Structure 1
Amino acid sequence: MAKIAVSPKSNRSRLFKIFAGLILLTATGAVLYGIPPFLLDISRITQSAVGKMPHESAGENAAPAILRGSVYDQGFNELAVSYRLYTLNVRPADMTDHRATAQALAQVTGRPAADLEGSLKSSRQSLRLMDDLDERQAAAIEGLHLPGVFCVPVEYRFYPAHTAASHVLGFMDGRTGLAGVEGRYDAVLSSRTVRNSNIPAIDFKGQQILGAESVDLILTLDLRLQRQLEQMVREYLAAQGLGKGMGLLLEPGSGRVLALVNQPAFNPNYFWKARDDNRVNRIYSQLLDRDLIRPIMARAAAIERGGLDGAPLLPATVAAPDYGFSGDMLHDFARRIRLFDSVSDNWEGGASQDNREGSQEAVTGVQIGATLASLVNGGWRINPFVVDSIYDHGSRTRFYRKNEGDSRAHVLDPALSVKVRRDLFSCWVSTADNKILYRAEKRQDGSAGELRGYSIQRLFAGMVPAQYPRYLLVIAVETSEMQPRQGSAVTQTDSLVQLGRSMLSYVQNHPPQVAPTEEPPPRNEENKNQFFISRRLAAPKTPEEVAARAATMPALRGLSLRKALRKMDPYKMKVNITGRGRVVAQYPLAGSPLHGANECALTLDER
């Protein structure tokens, strides 16, 4: 047998390599022992963090550290408020014992442990197990320190008054206000950096930036008066068989809007369910025939023509038609007192500029209100406004409107304005209750013109008290039909006057309620309970709703956001939205099965 010779030098080299390897392994072990455990499984931790990331959706959004600011009426009644709830998310892949985890969660959530265990075993991906957990439940779950279990905060916007003042408040989609004060002052309510340019009508008292904490918006509205006017207008429309109407209650001396009504209204909590025309702010957009206030304009022009020493005006029944003024002359007078000026307070778009400036026949309800106010408040043209002040929680300070923030301008000679206020409405004064009660209607037969059918507009304008009006009320209704409505038009107009008289009496007996403090009160518990009840009622209960979860994805491309959300509502899915405009892309694709899916993505584009 041959022998293999091994040199001593080769043995020494091998021993050296083995010894060096042992030293390297020992050093590596020492280093790994000192590294924090979370670095030893980067992939798992990263995936877990991704699973915890919040998702934006319609009607809800991942809650920031500070909730969106609230909106109040002038008595600090809540009109829009945000609440923080939690979703229970799980990652079954991170769990060591599904049964023990299910039993622990069952004690907190109240759901059967067997159902929870089945959900945990159904998938190894991240799951949203439950919605609408309150802070107490979320804290209890976090206190269990269960692997793969975490609660994600979600902010919900709630409108406790429901349809009341819905056209003023507007609504939100996810994190963004889309209409009304929610849209116009979105940067104020949602930002942690609020500058004067975001709300220029407010005096910041020399400060440059507010909003280290949330900023609340206080409106001029009075919720009690708002609800009363809405109820009266709604009952009048129902009694007369009409569907659309508008109303405006304001202080003519200041321009403060106390109530603003559009019928039909909508519920901003479910804005996507409303028809498009229900969300139209008619008092700012619907055009009314200028002839509805022609008698008032003619008398005002006649008083101005007569001057301070002019004789009292003759009654309209014996005076020359329109006191001798032609249509062009009355139009020039209307321009001089700024009837056609834009009235928007920068929070809600009114009629188009072409309509406001170019039309000689049509104006909006709020333009009529602003003009009538200028004829009784000393000749001041004041844009009606709805924002009274803001409250900054960071500095605990309330900031009010600037004096020049009301866009005041004199449209009548100061001395002559006293005579105008005293004599203009004398023929419409009700001496029995010391109110100014003006009525008018305009009929149009569209058979030979652009209109198809028959249209009638009715207007009521009232003030109280008659000598020095403190409150001004404007109500307008319109109907369009193929044939004139049967019945007495006089009776219908008298009913409108009775409505106006009753509302003026109500505001006299129930003047606006101003909050006794400068600081908003704690959250209203009744509203909070109402919110939680609404969340529970929103859960699917019928077999049809439950079956809808396992249906197929509807086709949404080309639809507006509102229509898309309405179609998605039965599926109770979280909707992630990107962009603005109409839906141009969706995931899952149309027709895809939705079994096990709990969210979808929509991409919008304005093109």
Structure 2
Amino acid sequence: MIKRELYKKTIRRRLVQLTGLLSVWMLLVGGRLLHVQVAQHEQWRAQADRQQRRAIRVTAVRGTIYDRAGRELAKSVEASSIFAVPVEIEDVERTARELARVLRMDPATLRERLSERREFVWVKRKVAPEEAEAVKALGLAGIHFVTENKRTYPNGELAAHVLGYAGIDEVGLEGLEFAYDREIRGEESTVFVYRDARGRTYERTQRPVARGHDLVLTLDATIQFHVERELREAVRRARARSGVAIVLDPKTGEILALANVPTFDPNAFTKASEEARRNRAIRDLYEPGSVFKIVTFAAALEEGVLRPNEVIECLGGHIVLAGHTIRDHRPFFRLTAREVLEHSSNVGTIQIALRVGAERLAHYIERFGFGRRTGVELPGEARGIVRPVRRWTPASVGAIAIGQEIGVTPLQMAAAIATIANEGVWVQPHVVRAVRSRDGTVIARTEPERRRVLSAASARVLARMLEGVVERGTGQLAQLSGYSAAGKTGTAQQFDPRTRRYSRTRYVASFAGFAPVGDPRVVVLVALDHPRPKYTGGEVAAPVFKRIAEAALHALNVPPDRSPERPILALRTNFASEGTVGEIGLVETEAVRLSSLPPSGTEARDFLTRSLAQAVASARSVRDDPRLVRVPDFRGQGIRAVAEQCARIGLRLIVSGSGRAVRQEPAAGTLVVRGTTCRVEFQ
């Protein structure tokens, strides 16, 4: 009995002890669980995320860049990027070999990349759709896809130096893509990839992002296309090293076109040379030569020391300043001030500059904006070189008056001639009209700087004098068909640093002008570097001005202010069998100026034959350009059929009404740049 009681007590004591131990253990475990789940929750969740989840940063959706008419110049599109999870790859050798074959990559590089014991490696980013499909068809373990955004430029080289380009990470690297990167870029997306305990991917989620803002430019894609085509042909024909052309509206400062040759395709900017990517219009400095005489004449007229019809002594074509002899291209003796400008007399211009004086001439050079940046939105703009007047030599007033001893950019020179066209008011050149949100709300609008440089009266007098340059002087090849024009030629010798003298073989040929003279709508500057064998601005650059100005005025629907000359030769549709007018839809007649014809007889017949051959060649080049499309005849078709045709050939569509198409603009058969807006009325 006693033993039984002792046994029970022992059992109870041991149960109490066991219960106590279990209670303590449970308290410890519970406390630990509480500590892990509450106090260390974030720490353990972060560790689990590191083991099970991989965050992949995906490029942002950049905003679209439009021209002034709403045509897309740069946009972002979705593209597949290929990445690998090396721990999932079963056969590195085979995987590398298959990927290299499809993606045209180096097998050794891929093998090394896939052999890394990492959770994530890029294989190839933003691949072509056909490459993505080919890789998917391989069914390789450990190879995955993610959708990124790829910057694309649908018109290729068009406006490349204005647009610039963005890199593989959708960060702007040049041009407006760089200057407005903060506004355009948007927010990056994040793709979360989840893996199980064996490292196998079982889920992917993507966080939505905010798209970047859009840019609306001042450029006109149609004018830009014509300018690039004419400049490219001019550089080829003149055998020039490079060329620049700028078209701007003198009243608003809006740049309608800005072109450089050589150029590049921003879709493949890594393949372009630094020379091709260089924006010469704002970065290259040159001594402008005689085109700079507009500043000298403007200063003299504004200061009241010159009248257009007064006689200037030109001293037989040479003058000596501080021991330096400056000559004219041919001897002149007595010319009116108008004739000095028309014939581009260096001696006459220097005589006028001596009346103005160094201090006042320097003042007007500064007022016209030389020696400082114009403030255009493009990155890398040069200031130019203008020495302080205290550092001028006794000969400087004469040299600077004719465009030597000074360095300017083409854009600075274009802005100066625009000041004359705008009745003496300088307006800041710009390429961005507005920054817009995705819903169309204007976030920022460009308000260009304005300042008066000359009185309106002085500017009007100088404009008429510059009209004489085109009508009677060195710029006769700049005469337009149906429009009055004014401007100035420039033939600038390039300074040779090796000989420390001006070269007798290297020149910059230029022409800067505006049209129509009474109500200027466009300013055009053309500059060709080292043309040969012809090298004068009147021979080489003035004809390019003519072609560009006429194309721009027609594109802007500016009515003619003069009757075109009577044509003596017409290219009509009976030449259609040769693939010219009738085939490509150009106007039916192309006039040849009476003033440009040679004497009658065999020489005249040969001249006409050459002119026709040139017109035919030009027509074929237009027809074959891949950026041009012909507007279909939409009449009688329904909205859906019209929309499908526009989408297929790259035209934008604005619809009014319903039913069948009855009217359209542009007309059927018109050649336009891809992206042009067609307005179609349905009834």
Classify the TM-score, shorter chain.
Answer: 0.5 to 0.7
Amino acid at match of 2:178: G
* 2:348 corresponds to: 321
* 1:179 corresponds to: 174
List alignment gaps of at least 5 residues for structure 2.
1-5, 92-101, 104-110, 133-140, 189-208, 311-336, 390-399, 472-478, 559-642, 651-683
Per-residue displacement from partner, 1:386-442 (whole Å, max 9, x unpaired)?
00112112x53135635xx21100011234333333344333243864223532212
Amino acid at match of 1:504: A
* 1:436 corresponds to: 486
8 Å Cα contact 2:291-2:488 kept in structure 1: no
Per-residue displacement from partner, 1:85-139 (whole Å, max 9, x unpaired)?
34355657689xx89xxxxxxxxxx99xxxxxxx9x989754657755899x99x
* 1:281 corresponds to: 279
Q: Is 2:441 aligned against 1:397?
A: yes
In structure 1, C-alpha distance between the alignment counterparts of 2:20 and 2:241, rounded to whole Å: 92
Q: Trace 1:3-18 onto structure 2 (pairs within 5 A).
A: 11-16=11-16
List alignment gaps of at least 5 residues for structure 1.
1-5, 55-61, 100-109, 112-118, 139-146, 194-210, 514-520, 529-607
Per-residue displacement from partner, 1:207-231 (whole Å, max 9, x unpaired)?
xxxx975310111011121122112
In structure 1, C-alpha distance between the alignment counterparts of 2:223 and 2:503, rounded to whole Å: 37
Cα distance change, pair 422–437 in 1 and its aligned pair in 2 (3 A): closer
In structure 1, C-alpha distance between the alignment counterparts of 2:147 and 2:344, rounded to whole Å: 73
Per-residue displacement from partner, 1:304-346 (whole Å, max 9, x unpaired)?
3448987574422699711532383644443344444421324
Deviation, 1:444, is 4.1
8 Å Cα contact 1:300-1:424 kept in structure 2: no
SS at match of 2:366: helix
Q: 2:520 aligns with which of 465, 469, 487?
A: 469
In structure 2, C-alpha distance between the alignment counterparts of 1:90 and 1:272, rounded to whole Å: 25
Cα distance change, pair 21–230 in 1 and its aligned pair in 2 (3 A): farther
8 Å Cα contact 1:376-1:417 kept in structure 2: yes
In structure 2, C-alpha distance between the alignment counterparts of 1:124 and 1:287, rounded to whole Å: 53
8 Å Cα contact 2:238-2:534 kept in structure 1: no
SS at match of 1:188: helix
Q: 1:349 aligns with which of 380, 383, 393?
A: 380
- Where relative contact order (Cα < 8 A, 6+ residues apart) is larger, the structure is 1
Amino acid at match of 2:261: Q
Q: Trace 1:367-406 onto structure 2 (pairs within 5 A).
A: 367-393=412-438, 396-399=440-443, 401=445, 405-406=447-448
% identical equivalent positions:
24
Q: Is 2:270 aligned against 1:272?
A: yes
In structure 1, C-alpha distance between the alignment counterparts of 2:546 and 2:43, rounded to whole Å: 76
* 1:565 corresponds to: none
In structure 2, C-alpha distance between the alignment counterparts of 1:75 and 1:425, rounded to whole Å: 32
SS at match of 2:231: helix
8 Å Cα contact 1:166-1:265 kept in structure 2: yes
Amino acid at match of 2:52: S
8 Å Cα contact 2:62-2:170 kept in structure 1: no
8 Å Cα contact 1:422-1:467 kept in structure 2: no
8 Å Cα contact 2:509-2:535 kept in structure 1: no
* 1:63 corresponds to: 59
SS at match of 1:412: coil
Cα distance change, pair 20–222 in 1 and its aligned pair in 2 (3 A): farther
8 Å Cα contact 2:510-2:542 kept in structure 1: no
Q: 2:461 aligns with which of 419, 425, 443?
A: 419
* 1:144 corresponds to: none
Amino acid at match of 2:172: G
Amino acid at match of 2:225: R
Per-residue displacement from partner, 1:491-548 (whole Å, max 9, x unpaired)?
x8524322221111111222289xxxxxxx9xx97799xxxxxxxxxxxxxxxxxxxx
In structure 1, C-alpha distance between the alignment counterparts of 2:72 and 2:426, rounded to whole Å: 31
In structure 2, C-alpha distance between the alignment counterparts of 1:318 and 1:442, rounded to whole Å: 12
Amino acid at match of 1:426: G
In structure 1, C-alpha distance between the alignment counterparts of 2:80 and 2:86, rounded to whole Å: 19
RMSD: 5.0
TM-score normalized by the length of structure 1:
0.62
* 2:542 corresponds to: 497
8 Å Cα contact 2:71-2:221 kept in structure 1: yes
Deviation, 1:293, is 1.8
* 1:365 corresponds to: 410
Q: Is 2:487 aligned against 1:459?
A: no
Per-residue displacement from partner, 1:241-278 (whole Å, max 9, x unpaired)?
22211111111111110111122112222333322232
Amino acid at match of 2:526: I
SS at match of 2:490: strand
Deviation, 1:300, is 2.8
Per-residue displacement from partner, 1:456-479 (whole Å, max 9, x unpaired)?
111112322132221111011112
Cα distance change, pair 21–79 in 1 and its aligned pair in 2 (3 A): farther
Deviation, 1:385, is 0.4
8 Å Cα contact 1:342-1:356 kept in structure 2: no
Q: 2:56 aligns with which of 34, 53, 57?
A: 53
Q: 1:231 aligns with which of 229, 232, 237?
A: 229
Deviates more, 1:324-333 or 1:79-88: 324-333
Q: Trace 1:71-470 onto structure 2 (pairs within 5 A).
A: 71-87=65-81, 89=83, 91=85, 125-126=118-119, 132=126, 151-173=145-167, 174-191=169-186, 214-306=212-304, 311=309, 313-316=337-340, 321-322=348-349, 324-326=352-354, 328=358, 330-352=361-383, 360-393=405-438, 396-399=440-443, 401=445, 405-429=447-471, 430=479, 433=482, 434-444=484-494, 446=496, 448-449=499-500, 454-470=505-521
TM-score normalized by the length of structure 2:
0.56
In structure 2, C-alpha distance between the alignment counterparts of 1:76 and 1:286, rounded to whole Å: 31
Per-residue displacement from partner, 1:162-194 (whole Å, max 9, x unpaired)?
22212111222324322211111111112579x
8 Å Cα contact 2:79-2:149 kept in structure 1: yes
8 Å Cα contact 2:260-2:279 kept in structure 1: yes
Amino acid at match of 2:224: Q
In structure 1, C-alpha distance between the alignment counterparts of 2:125 and 2:535, rounded to whole Å: 55
SS at match of 2:298: helix
Amino acid at match of 1:435: A
Deviation, 1:287, is 1.4
Amino acid at match of 1:321: G
In structure 2, C-alpha distance between the alignment counterparts of 1:356 and 1:219, rounded to whole Å: 34
Deviates more, 1:465-474 or 1:329-338: 329-338
SS at match of 2:413: helix
Deviation, 1:380, is 0.6
8 Å Cα contact 2:298-2:458 kept in structure 1: no
Cα distance change, pair 462–294 in 1 and its aligned pair in 2 (3 A): closer
8 Å Cα contact 1:356-1:363 kept in structure 2: no
In structure 1, C-alpha distance between the alignment counterparts of 2:178 and 2:123, rounded to whole Å: 33
In structure 2, C-alpha distance between the alignment counterparts of 1:332 and 1:22, rounded to whole Å: 98
Cα distance change, pair 216–428 in 1 and its aligned pair in 2 (3 A): same
SS at match of 2:408: strand
* 1:478 corresponds to: 529
8 Å Cα contact 1:225-1:512 kept in structure 2: no
Amino acid at match of 1:398: V
